[in-house]
Chain A
């Protein structure tokens, strides 16, 4: 892998990336596929969100309801665990994952990102995860499974970590980096040509030089731009969704995951929790609108939105909501899904589980989730 970032390499890499493997693979895959979905956006509305504040109070989530009108509501998704990390991981692996609340390791079962990348032999830049919650959520991009793992992982952007005013200030305290000029490019190329081949490290998720360059430019733009400026309650979620919109625009990924978390503010304040839901709904609306506004994505993109679990039935002493009473409010959540393969304007009451999400997502993408325990939610699909 070559790491220097030159305009020449960028153009060359971009050209190659556009012309080569993915397009051919997509074409071959398209002939075999059963579903129309070419791009999938999976939003884990995590942090613990009850249906009571979403589909049962449409005023809180007008955008979600707008999406539901064009798609389907599954109000009876049962969840098995009530720790954020494990329950969110469950959505992405199709297995009930019991993880510690301070656990900071990757799971044992492959994620939907790995299934899609491996099954369709896709390069790294086609599968993305945008997160809002720091260390733990980063573990969702790939598993420790011996047949999958890092080389099939998703590209991750954790908006809270990189697009924030603190990092921006660190950069500014040293000064902004310049773009290498032609003379410097030539000098670096000459020196590098004389260097012996580097030792080979354990292979990991590696983007091609063109993607690295696009990412570098995107990062610099975003650090200076709007995403770093989003502040206030629910801002991490808002940033994650904003990044998702940008990733859709720049990379047009085959699969894009978004993981939110700010709703967990509910432990301390019901009102703040409701505000976070409303703010996230607004951003989900923008995400959906950006898909609808794009002729290429509009008719080929599916979206699935659901929380990892709900919250307790009753308020705690702080007028907040915990998540530990095992009530139906906690254990049963609602999913909203829309796209070319989902039914339109329906509410499907049939019971299902959160472990069914990955098999369904993978089926839409034309791959099997061989280690997932759930089933494909055919009752939500048109065929």
Chain B
């Protein structure tokens, strides 16, 4: 009788599991998240053998309590069901590969000394992963496979190969490609051939991240990701927002005449500073040459029409709102703001309103209190906890909730009203200008400048680029170049990638490296680690053996330090490169990148 009871319980559990249909999107912890029979066949014993020694004891189990199996080969169903349910709580149905269950340490020293499960190729790991992905006994998830990285040419079609992907059960698979990340200004698309391949034609230089997911009709694979680094060719179309070299043949005899000129260090410094401040990266040598003889005013005007510049501004605003990592807008209209700002289709004020109105902002700042507080603080510069602002916050929250309320002398009764009223205040203009000045100059804005420019911007929201033009060509900015500053983290990371690899980092690379850099009060040690990692990578751009040592040294000093090498520097570096076998181009670059001068601009 008891046996029959367990059988009914088991069948009931199976019904719950199998009746839920496609299981991949089931919520975490739901019995519909993964297959019980699969669990029984492939995981029950493994969990018993590998985990139960600690996790069956309530004292040491933490939040993952397993019931010990009396007979691991033939587990009783009650225990099986309990362990199945306990395991489900550690699965992430939306991102199975990130499931806590897969990330648990194992090995001799189970809580620290062992390898990560997700770094092993064990069958047990694969079973766990497949379980998290919704595998059943008759259907395993397919696998998407892509090469890790390719180099492509701007304007030329490249073939992407996903044909190594497959399904372990032999089911036919469908391919779903997407451009997951792209350089600013790119509108390139993929053309899948339906048979595992795709054609991709980059339209601007820079890194693209392409993803492939395959589906066998019942289950989807994990996303495979590849990096496509698009480089310019001498004849590539000038679709890019970054200025194209007009006469330089970058791969042949770069900037020979330019490097031999007596270069004005002040001009070089100004060019580099403008690049680092407005584009958050260092210039290439051909860009330095291109802008060197262009009047500063024209260069600033060109930069202010460049989507790359506005992308930097946009990213900075996201940072102020802490719309980072998972809250960073990934798709939708908000992500097109840099291009629309560059084309003057939106003003800075409207751009900020769009960001505040995005779903990402709503998710980051849920509820009336958080939403209103952040808008008042980050858009107007108020400190809401100050007594004088408490009433404004209270009224704002009422308005947000749809009740009639009054702030800054204006009535409203919705979230939309609240945001509109806030952005209509001159305080909003003041706060925007105060921040922007500090970002560009590293100092507080003079009160008179703030007063005059805020009034101008409040009267004409389109005036923001003109104000920036005046600031960037004014004495405070131009004269400020003489003051050496430490490179901020993001320009440093992006510049390091440019200098070592000839490309900016992908957002994922940037995010993870930036977070690591910001994690130390003195980031020098980790900057050095990263510099060395990049220079020793196969991706590092090192000159060929037919090296013109003198020109190489000149170029690196101009590129990395914004100055020509001194006579002694040029002689020592050139001679060493020619005659000392231990001095390679890589050693030269490491010497420069690890020097204190590289930390500043």
What is the interface of chain A, defined by CB distance below 8 A to chain B? 1-5, 81, 83, 86, 98-104, 124, 129, 134-135, 138, 141-142, 153-162, 164-167, 169-171, 173-178, 183-184, 186-188, 190-192, 194-196, 198-202, 204-207, 212-213, 215-216, 219-220, 225-226, 229, 231-233, 275, 279, 324
Contacts and interface: CB of A to CB of B under 8 A. Distances in A.
Contacts of A190: 572, 576, 580, 583
Contact of B533 (A158, A176, A205, A233): A176
Contacts of B123: none
B234 interface: no
Interface stretch (B15-23, B251-259, B332-340, B376-384): B376-384
12 contacts: A3-B599, A98-B386, A100-B373, A158-B518, A191-B576, A192-B591, A212-B525, A216-B525, A216-B526, A216-B528, A220-B529, A231-B103
B521 A154 contact: yes
Contact of B524 (A3, A135, A192, A229): A3
Nearest to B599: A201
B536 A141 contact: no
Contact of A5 (B365, B378, B522, B528): B528
B247 interface: no
Contact of A184 (B112, B534, B582, B596): B582
A166 B325 CA distance: 12
B518 A191 contact: no
A202 B324 CA distance: 29
B54 to A, nearest CB: 14
B580 A187 contact: yes
A191 B587 contact: yes
Contacts of B394: none
A194 B580 CA distance: 15
Contacts of A134: 515, 518
Given A192-B595, A195-B595, A231-B103, A100 B378 contact: yes
A155 B322 contact: no
Interface residues of B, number: 75
B519 A3 contact: no
B320 A170 contact: no
Contacts of A166: 508, 511-512
Question: Which of B370, B484, B533, B580 has most A Cβ within 10 Å?
Answer: B533
Contact of A170 (B100, B512, B539): B512
Nearest to B580: A187
Contacts of A183: 582
B588 A191 contact: yes
A176 B566 CA distance: 34
Contacts of A158: 518-520
B569 A195 contact: yes
B63 A199 contact: no
Contact of B573 (A153, A194, A225): A194
Nearest to A113: B521
A175 B104 CA distance: 24
Given A176-B533, A231-B104, A138 B518 contact: yes
Nearest to A271: B63
B485 A229 contact: no
B103 A229 contact: yes
A150 to B, nearest CB: 8
Contacts of B324: 135
A100 B383 contact: yes
A81 B385 contact: yes
Contacts of A186: 582
Contacts of B63: 232-233, 275
A124 B146 CA distance: 47
B525 A153 contact: no
A201 B484 contact: yes
Contacts of A138: 518-519, 521
A309 B527 CA distance: 36
Question: Which of A2, A101, A165 has most B Cβ within 10 Å?
Answer: A101
Contact of A3 (B116, B512, B580, B596): B596
Contact of A201 (B321, B485, B536, B582): B485
Nearest to A4: B594
Given A156-B520, A170-B512, A199 B597 contact: yes
A174 B533 CA distance: 6
Nearest to B526: A219
A175 B519 CA distance: 21
B398 to A, nearest CB: 16
Contacts of A202: 484-486
Contacts of A2: 596
Given A100-B385, A190-B580, 17 more contacts: A5-B528, A100-B378, A104-B322, A135-B322, A138-B518, A157-B520, A158-B520, A161-B518, A166-B508, A166-B512, A175-B533, A184-B587, A191-B576, A194-B572, A198-B596, A207-B524, A219-B526
